[in-house]
Structure 1
């Protein structure tokens, strides 16, 4: 290609597709490449549409991971493509910075229509971690306090402040010291929560309505009582809706399941439409204005790419698609159907301990089986690493049935599934049939599926090798 010729991106991609892992091994993260090869996820995808990925041979892969819930509306949705094309064709001014762009105002207006009226001020940024970082700053500015509380097992992002409220020790290891005056409490323990709140130094209690790691949520009135205690002690309630928002749990927002009135929520992932990073902090106006409290502080918190036209257009198109295709209701109905179908498998497979979820956010937890042969394999894997069994199932679903899932978290016997909200009976049937077959294979020890487990044991001396599927948010 001559230096004076424009980039022919289509030709470049066509010529070099298949070099993906070699390029990443050489120039990006060779450890990640090694993990993907060990767990059998080193597939090259050529295209994607809706709930499916396609390899170079046009074989389909059912995507029950959705980019960690980025693709609520499915991959490469034509409505979002059209919005991006429209913006590019109009040659709009973009990121002037010292202006107020129309598209960001329109997206803020549309987003607030999906929220209760007390949440009436929006700040746009790029990712869930960035939104949670901003929420921490907003809460501290509004309360004059520095303390932060979160739940054990929570995931709020991997940047410094978000990591400080992370409820998973694995992700914090090696990155300290982090923010001071941060603590984690046990879900369901109101006494422990009140003990911290009584100190009157906690700016915010940050929760995921449904935790991404493990798909855990409380029973009873814990969240409502926690909100009451926060009000009583002057602490703000922040709901991290990065994964649970925009229909994922069968409601527009996860907090709606408990009739909560959070002071701040954070939104990201599927607001992007799967194209351009797009995130938001939504807060009560009085809280918001504590950050932007004077004229000379009008940009004291800002994000260079936060209000870019492409991201705003993607957000607008995504909200429209969710409405037009009734995806919130579809997530509720089909999610319940999916859980019920998996529950039926418990009658056949003693490996299944519990199925839990809301909408299209589902976890399948396993325990030691009653069958002697399967129990032998279970014990062997668990002597080495607890998560090896679940990873064996995840890899088997992928290699044998071309279904993409993930581990639900570190040291868990749990598979997590996050299907696009667009799926229907065909996709549910395919997943349940595949899971049934994989669990049936586990009854034969030794056997092919346990040989796969034995291969994981060989690599398990390096702990990071089998944790890819649970590494993301």
Structure 2
């Protein structure tokens, strides 16, 4: 019987969660069911997902900034068809493929001139692991410093840059020398870490993926000056902030920084094929690949595969041709303005922050007495429950997909495709207004939903505590 993928999908679409419960991650399935995220999406286009009944859902998550150019973009789709039809030799390994050279050329045309050497990999965390190795090789130093509340990936090296126990619990000991985390905007604390001149790299996100925090001061400029003073390399993690997300091609350009290394992934391939990249100064790059016997001392099997490279070339062209960077800046400013106007109506909203279309909406304890009591009850259990309550209602009532910005945070994260227009901005702002209006009714359905979250959270903690350790 011939293999027919379309037939398989048509026959079994709808079994998604049962299959994952049996064979993949039942805990994730349980969590998605509790928060009402157990939807079955049948197709996607642009800024929209469609369920099995062809009902549209506005995607304001974009796969965590994977789909900057929108889902299933026809230009990238055609590039995939073309590269498959050409029957090109792929991953020969002992050659230099054309498409990886072309994508490296295309990237370095878009980066500042000093960032002129490219290494391809498969993901953001893999790019960060490589960047840390490059920094160590170039400086002969072992330590790395990051910022508080950073998120740089979940493999061991990148995980070691993070201080969030919800991610690090159970995985220690982490990398020695990677445990220094400096508060954002604290120049003095950074100086104290770097002055010992044993730090290979300072790693930054100019808008943090966890919480969407950014600096409104000259902190990043001062940080770069300190790096130059003490011989520390500056790594800018552009996995989420890069390729137009913040209203510029790269997040570091908002401060006119000149990082020594940047990391890219997520939207680099337009969302079709895993693709990541390190772009560095040539002299730094060559300290790793310093001799012929070290020409592959850092490598990855699938890093330069033709599908990823073709998608990358197409995605970069789409970003330019459709002026998505300009649209990100324009729609981001409009969205932040509309949400900010809701603050006068809804005392739940503390702050709207971010750059371009990388936006965080932070909530805090409301002013009304009866709502204060409800707020405190939720926060005794878990600080993320209120924000999760909001995003759950945004999906169930208004069919708008968002998510919380991090563990124990009252922050809703907004990452729509850079293709959105005023229609989608208005849809989101009106929906948020409606959901927050419902929150003012206590007791009421919204707070009953929160109570259900509390019960589920307590039950999950009891189950985890009762589970015995696994032995060999």
How many residues matched?
Answer: 461
2:417 aligns with one of 403, 417, 420: 420
- Report the Cα offset of residue 199 of structure 1: 1.2
Show the counterpart of 1:389.
386
Question: Does the residue aligned with 1:460 lie in a helix, a strand or coil?
Answer: helix
Between the aligned partners of 1:103 and 1:384, the Cα distance in structure 2 is 52
Show the counterpart of 1:145.
141
Distance 1:402 1:339, change over 3 A: same
Between the aligned partners of 1:464 and 1:144, the Cα distance in structure 2 is 47
1:276 aligns with one of 273, 277, 283: 273
The runs of 5 or more residues in structure 2 that have no matched partner are 464-472
1:320 aligns with one of 289, 292, 317: 317
- Report the Cα offset of residue 314 of structure 1: 0.5
2:150 aligns with one of 124, 129, 154: 154
Structure 1 residues 122-201: aligned runs within 5 Å: 122-182=118-178, 183-201=180-198
Structure 1 residues 352-367: aligned runs within 5 Å: 352-367=349-364
Question: Does the residue aligned with 2:120 lie in a helix, a strand or coil?
Answer: strand
**Structure 1 length-normalised TM:** 0.96
**RMSD, aligned α-carbons:** 1.1
Maintained 8 Å contact 1:103/1:313:
yes
Between the aligned partners of 1:225 and 1:330, the Cα distance in structure 2 is 30
Maintained 8 Å contact 1:373/1:443:
no
Structure 1 residues 88-127: aligned runs within 5 Å: 88-127=84-123
1:204 aligns with one of 193, 201, 204: 201
Show the counterpart of 2:468.
none
Question: Does the residue aligned with 1:225 lie in a helix, a strand or coil?
Answer: helix
Q: Does 1:24 align with 2:53?
A: no
Show the counterpart of 1:469.
none
Between the aligned partners of 1:369 and 1:232, the Cα distance in structure 2 is 45
1:435 aligns with one of 408, 416, 432: 432
Maintained 8 Å contact 1:69/1:243:
yes
Maintained 8 Å contact 1:119/1:282:
yes
Q: Does 1:339 align with 2:316?
A: no
Question: Does the residue aligned with 1:157 lie in a helix, a strand or coil?
Answer: coil
Q: Deviations over 1:224-278 (max 9, x none)?
A: 1110111111100000000000000000000001110000000000002110001
Maintained 8 Å contact 1:51/1:75:
yes
Question: Does the residue aligned with 1:232 lie in a helix, a strand or coil?
Answer: helix
Between the aligned partners of 1:39 and 1:212, the Cα distance in structure 2 is 22
1:218 aligns with one of 215, 218, 222: 215
Between the aligned partners of 1:174 and 1:464, the Cα distance in structure 2 is 17
The runs of 5 or more residues in structure 1 that have no matched partner are 466-473
Show the counterpart of 2:75.
79
Between the aligned partners of 1:119 and 1:444, the Cα distance in structure 2 is 54
- Report the Cα offset of residue 38 of structure 1: 0.5
Q: Deviations over 1:1-59 (max 9, x none)?
A: xxxx3310000000000000000000000000000000100000000000000000000
- Report the Cα offset of residue 373 of structure 1: 3.2
Q: Indicate the larger mover: 374-383 or 118-127.
A: 374-383
Maintained 8 Å contact 1:150/1:165:
yes
Q: Does 1:51 align with 2:47?
A: yes
Between the aligned partners of 1:464 and 1:309, the Cα distance in structure 2 is 48
- Which of structure 1's runs of 4+ aligned residues deviate more than 2 A? 371-376, 462-465
Maintained 8 Å contact 1:150/1:167:
no
Maintained 8 Å contact 1:376/1:445:
no
Between the aligned partners of 2:245 and 2:83, the Cα distance in structure 1 is 28
**Structure 2 length-normalised TM:** 0.96
Maintained 8 Å contact 1:407/1:414:
yes
Maintained 8 Å contact 1:53/1:63:
yes
Between the aligned partners of 1:62 and 1:167, the Cα distance in structure 2 is 33
Distance 1:141 1:278, change over 3 A: same
- Report the Cα offset of residue 371 of structure 1: 2.2
- Report the Cα offset of residue 172 of structure 1: 1.0
Q: Deviations over 1:45-92 (max 9, x none)?
A: 000000000000000000000000000000000000000000000000
- Report the Cα offset of residue 463 of structure 1: 4.8
Between the aligned partners of 1:94 and 1:240, the Cα distance in structure 2 is 29
Between the aligned partners of 1:57 and 1:380, the Cα distance in structure 2 is 38
Between the aligned partners of 2:74 and 2:370, the Cα distance in structure 1 is 49
Q: Does 1:368 align with 2:354?
A: no
Between the aligned partners of 2:340 and 2:197, the Cα distance in structure 1 is 45
Q: Does 1:290 align with 2:287?
A: yes
